[in-house]
C-alpha cells in the first residue's frame, strides 16, 4: 500500500505544469535506461490492476510491460471475465480491488464511472481512456513533441476530425501548458468546451480543416468513430469525408510540422497513407512513448518525486 498522499490521474488537469515538467524529465531518464538495458526497479512488490471495458493494444501492452519493467506485477481484468460485467457496483469493486493492489488503471465508457471508482479507491487510479478523455495518450504525444522539436509552449496544434476524448484532452493540455489548438470538426461533431472544461483562449475553431492546419507546428487526428460509437459508423463516414489529413493539409502546415495519430489508424479515412507513413509522421515514437511516460507516471503516483 502506498504511503504517499493519494493522487489520481483521471484528467490531464490532475497534474500541474510543474509536475509535467518533472514527469517529462523523468521520462527521458527512464527511456534512456530502457534503451541501455539498465535495470530500474522502483516498484518491486507493487501490483497494478488493469481494468478494460473496451479493447486495447497500446494501453494494455504499455501498462503491463511498463509495470514489469519497474519491478512490479500486473493483474488484468475485463468486463467479460470479472463481476464488473455482472453488475457488481463500481463502488464495491473499487473498495475490494484497491485493498489488494497498489495502483489501478481503468479504460471504460463514461468519465463518471472512473470518478466513482476513484472516490472509493484506497490507491491511485489512472484513466486509460474514457469517452471524454485520454490523458495518458496526450502525455505521450507532448513528450514526443518535446523530443523532436523542444518545448510545446506557444506552438500551434491542428486537430482535424472528431471532437472526441483526444480533442478534449488536447484542449486541457493547451490551457495548462500554454499552446493553442486549431480545431476543425464536421458540423454536429464539434468539441464541447464544457466537457474539456477550458476557456476559449486556448483554442480556435475553423470550418475548413486546411485553415486549421495553416502554419501549424503539429497536425493530429484520430479515428472518425471512437469505441462505443460504432452504431454511428456509416453516418460518420459521410460526415467526415473531407476531414482526412492529406499531403495538401501537411503542406499548409509549417515545413517542419509533425504528424501524430494516437492509433489505431484507418488509412484512407482520417489520414492518407502518404501522411502517416511519410517523413513528417512520428506515430511510432508516439506509440512507444506511451510505455516511457506511463512508467514515469506510475512511479510518480506511488513514490512522488525522486532525485
Residues that bind ligand CP (CB under 6 A): 56-59, 129, 137, 262-263
Q: Is 2 exposed, middle or buried (0-12, 13-18, 19+ CB in 10 A)?
A: middle
Closest approach, Cβ 166 to ligand NVA, in A, equals 5
Listed residue (216, 6, 218) closest to 94, CA to CA? 6
Which residue, 64 or 175, has its beta carbon nearer to ligand CP? 64
Is 75 buried (19+), middle (13-18) or exposed (0-12) by CB count in 10 A?
Answer: middle
Beta-carbon contacts of residue 269 (< 8 Å; ≥ 6 apart): 223, 224, 237, 240, 244
| 146 vs 227 by CB, closer to ligand NVA | 227
Residue 213 appears among annotated catalytic residues:
no
Q: Based on the residue annotation, tell me whether 201 is a catalytic residue of this protein.
A: no
Residue 226 binding partner per list ligand CP, ligand NVA, none, with a CB distance cut-off of 5 to 8 Å that depends on partner kind: ligand NVA
Let me know if 256 is a catalytic residue: no
Residue of minimal Cβ distance to ligand NVA = 226
Give residue for cell 485520454. 134
Nearest to 189 by CA among 225, 216, 214, 158: 225
| Site string (200-239) toward ligand NVA, x via CB under 6 A | ----------------------xx--xx------------
Q: How many angstroms separate the CA atoms of 137 and 147, rounded?
A: 15
Among positions 243-262, residues that touch ligand NVA (CB under 6 A) are: 262
Residue 211's binding partner out of ligand NVA, ligand CP, none, with CB under 5 to 8 Å set by partner kind: none
First to last CA, the chain: 22
Catalytic residue among 107, 236, 261, 292: 107
CB nearer ligand CP, residue 58 or residue 182: 58
Active site residue 41: no
Residue carrying C-alpha cell 526497479: 41
CB 23 within 8 Å of CB 139: yes
Residue 57 site contact among ligand NVA, ligand CP, none (CB < 5 to 8 Å, cut-off depends on kind): ligand CP
CB of 232 to ligand NVA, least distance (A): 12
What is the nearest approach in angstroms of ligand CP to the Cβ of residue 58? 4
Q: Which does 260 bind (CB under 5 to 8 A by kind): ligand NVA, ligand CP, none?
A: none
- Are 259 and 245 contacting, i.e. CB atoms less than 8 angstroms apart? yes
Measured CA to CA in angstroms, residue 292 lies from 6, 23, 143, 285, 288 at distances of 22, 10, 9, 11, 7
Would you call 46 a catalytic residue per the annotation? no
| 133 neighbors 76 (Cβ within 8 angstroms) | no
Give whichever of 165 and 184 is closer to ligand CP, judged by the CB atom: 165
Let me know if 137 is a catalytic residue: yes
Please give the C-alpha separations between residue 69 and each of 40, 291, 293, in angstroms, as whole numbers.
7, 10, 13
Binders in 92-131 for ligand NVA, by CB under 6 A: 129
Shortest approach of ligand CP to residue 210 CB, angstroms? 26
Tell me the catalytic residues. Answer: 107, 134, 137, 222, 262, 290
Contact positions vs ligand NVA (CB under 6 A) = 129, 164-166, 222-223, 226-227, 262
Amino acid at each position: 500500500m502506498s504511503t504517499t498522499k493519494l493522487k489520481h490521474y483521471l484528467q490531464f488537469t490532475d497534474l500541474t505544469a510543474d509536475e509535467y515538467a518533472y514527469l517529462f524529465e523523468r521520462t527521458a531518464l527512464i527511456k534512456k535506461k530502457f534503451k541501455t538495458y539498465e535495470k530500474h526497479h522502483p516498484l518491486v512488490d507493487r501490483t497494478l490492476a488493469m481494468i478494460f471495458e473496451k479493447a486495447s493494444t497500446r494501453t494494455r501492452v504499455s501498462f503491463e510491460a511498463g509495470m514489469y519493467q519497474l519491478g512490479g506485477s500486473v493483474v488484468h481484468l475485463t468486463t467479460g471475465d470479472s463481476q464488473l460485467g455482472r453488475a457488481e457496483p463500481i463502488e464495491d469493486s473499487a473498495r475490494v480491488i484497491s485493498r489488494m493492489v497498489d495502483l489501478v488503471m481503468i479504460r471504460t465508457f463514461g468519465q463518471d464511472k472512473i470518478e466513482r471508482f476513484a472516490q472509493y479507491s484506497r490507491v491511485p487510479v489512472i484513466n486509460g481512456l474514457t469517452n471524454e478523455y485520454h490523458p495518458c495518450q496526450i502525455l505521450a504525444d507532448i513528450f514526443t513533441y518535446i523530443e523532436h522539436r523542444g518545448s510545446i509552449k506557444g506552438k500551434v496544434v491542428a486537430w482535424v476530425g472528431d471532437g472526441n476524448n483526444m480533442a478534449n484532452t488536447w484542449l486541457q493540455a493547451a490551457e495548462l501548458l500554454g499552446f493553442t489548438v486549431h480545431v476543425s470538426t464536421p458540423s454536429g461533431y464539434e468539441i464541447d468546451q464544457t466537457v474539456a472544461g477550458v476557456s476559449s483562449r486556448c483554442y480556435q475553431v475553423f470550418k475548413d480543416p486546411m485553415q486549421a492546419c495553416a502554419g501549424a507546428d503539429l497536425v493530429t487526428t484520430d479515428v472518425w468513430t471512437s469505441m462505443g460509437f460504432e452504431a454511428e459508423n456509416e453516418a460518420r463516414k459521410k460526415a467526415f469525408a473531407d476531414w482526412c489529413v492529406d499531403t495538401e493539409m501537411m503542406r499548409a502546415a509549417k515545413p517542419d510540422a509533425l504528424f501524430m495519430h494516437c492509433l489505431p489508424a484507418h488509412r484512407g479515412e482520417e489520414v492518407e497513407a502518404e501522411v502517416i507513413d511519410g517523413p513528417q509522421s512520428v506515430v511510432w515514437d508516439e506509440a512507444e512513448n506511451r510505455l516511457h511516460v506511463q512508467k514515469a507516471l506510475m512511479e510518480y503516483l506511488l513514490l512522488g518525486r525522486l532525485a
